[in-house]
Chain A
Amino acid sequence: MEALSTQHITKSFSGRVIIEDISIRLMENELVSLLGVSGSGKTTLFNVISGILQPDSGQVLLRGEDVTGHPGKISYMLQKDLLLEHMKVIDNVSLPLRLNGISKKEARMRTGPLFEEFGLKGTQELYPAAMSGGMRQRAALLRTYLGSQGGVALLDEPFSALDTITKGQIHTWYLDIMEKIDLSTIFITHDIDEAILLSNRIYIMTGAPGQIKDEIVIDRPRNDRKEFNLTEEFLSCKRKVLKTLEGK
């Protein structure tokens, strides 16, 4: 079933078209990557899908319902974890619930059990400043998950600020956690390896104005991605992606 789709979205700023006629879809529990060079309008597209920007034309459908320009339905995670320094981790993570009018106590109670699942056990009562970058991203993903009432989340380069080793660890963790929870995500990245490793499908975007150039399906099952990046299959996917990016 289709969790989310955009239909012919176009958005321009002061006469300059940033993204043009973008139609993508996201199936239930699917991980889709949006791969493209910087300046191809990926973040603008996300701002439109999340509802904080109104498109010039086109629609965003969440399970068939028109949510164009209505923020709060589709969850959004940015490169910076944006945990609020003045709140304890558990209050940061449960913030989406509180914004929906749930009391602090109730929000904490609902959030608590998920900490273990997300590998965040024992961090509830810490302030974000006391956590490592990798742990902070995990907390941010948990917050994103709790904010996704419709089970759909947008991740804008969520791991790009991490060092290579932490990134490798968090990739494994990410694939693992996505098997456990119901969340369909679109994932912006400019890292080709990351896109292939973490997705069912990759949309390739080219810039000025941003358009979807191609769609590449990664056949390997998500629960069989251990050392996937060392295989011939991975390389052939990568060749395909590079070719498209180079415009051949």
Chain B
Amino acid sequence: MKERSENITSKVPAVIALALILLLWWGLCASGMIPSYMLPSPADVVRAFIGDFPNLMYHAKTSLQEAAYGLVIGIGLAFVIATVMDRFRWLDQALSPILVITQTIPTIAIAPLLVLWMGFGMAPKITLVVITTFFPIAVGLLEGYRSVDPDEISLMRAMGADRYQIFRFVKFPSALPHFFSGLKISASYAVVGAVISEWLGGFEGLGVYMTRVKKAYAFDRMFAVIILIVIISLLLMALVDLIRTVSMPWTEVKAEHRNERT
């Protein structure tokens, strides 16, 4: 209970900061310093968000689908590659630099190529999401596999454990916290990745809608889309945290006991 109230007090500064920014935004618009066709006021954006809600939901569904498919494939791919790289040292040495290089390629630059190769359907969008989400998860898993206490592995070997058992009982569980840290980053990348790829062509999705309202100079609706993307990303990150807590009950115990001792 005490912990909960501490949690709330620790969020107060963030709420105040956010409120101040909103106030500043509103003040700039209300005073007429920035014309409303350049920057719509917060009230306009909220109005647009509500008025446009059915439209926004329709497009969000498509973007979310792309993000979800991409993220699931990204997780699977990251798991396979990280696990194989951890198992075979030479493969690790061969692939590590390539993995890093793929991350320096700007997403926005390959998106048009993907559209060129795969058309205007879902495929290029999902591919882009896979490319962006795969890396943080793979790196997290690899780091996790290597964070294992070597004494734990010695003990498992002394108990006669085979490679698979060492993986199952020691390596994989130790990698879980790192996996979830990576997943949290990837979840927020996923939606943004889908939207970016939609900018470059497509029939529906938040990115497509965004380019449409931009061309109509409906900046209030554009802001509404941006805010929706922010909300979706935050919700996804919260979902990852929830799954993490549920699937790793022992971390809660650890935190509780740390508090008790201090």
B253 touches A78 (CB 8 A): no
B257 touches A76 (CB 8 A): no
* Chain A binding surface SS class: loop
**A41 sits at the interface (CB 8 A):** no
Q: Which residues of B contact A147 (CB under 8 A)?
A: 159
Q: How many residues of B contact A (CB 8 A)?
A: 24
**A114 sits at the interface (CB 8 A):** no
A82 touches B169 (CB 8 A): no
Q: Which residue of B lies closest to A73 (CB)?
A: B160
**A99 sits at the interface (CB 8 A):** yes
Q: Which residue of A lies closest to B258 (CB)?
A: A129
* Chain B binding surface SS class: helix
Least CB distance from A131 to B in Å reads: 9
Interface size bracket, A side: 20 to 34
Contacts A52-B157, A71-B157 hold; do A129 and B254 have CB atoms under 8 A apart?
yes
**B149 sits at the interface (CB 8 A):** yes
B248 touches A86 (CB 8 A): yes
**Distance of A68 Cα from B192 Cα, bound (Å):** 58
Q: Which residue of B lies closest to A100 (CB)?
A: B160
Task: Give the residue of A51, A74, A82, A96 whose beta carbon is less than 8 angstroms from that of B151.
Answer: A82
A-B CB contact pairs (8 Å), 26 listed: A52-B154, A52-B157, A52-B158, A71-B159, A72-B159, A72-B160, A75-B158, A75-B159, A76-B154, A76-B158, A76-B159, A78-B151, A82-B151, A82-B152, A84-B169, A85-B250, A86-B173, A95-B159, A99-B159, A99-B161, A100-B160, A126-B253, A127-B249, A127-B253, A129-B257, A147-B159
**Chain A interface residues (CB < 8 Å from chain B):** 47, 50-52, 71-76, 78, 80, 82, 84-87, 95-96, 99-100, 126-127, 129-130, 147
* Pairs of residues from A and B, 8 with the lowest C-beta to C-beta distance, nearest first: A72-B160, A76-B158, A129-B254, A86-B173, A127-B253, A127-B250, A50-B158, A129-B253
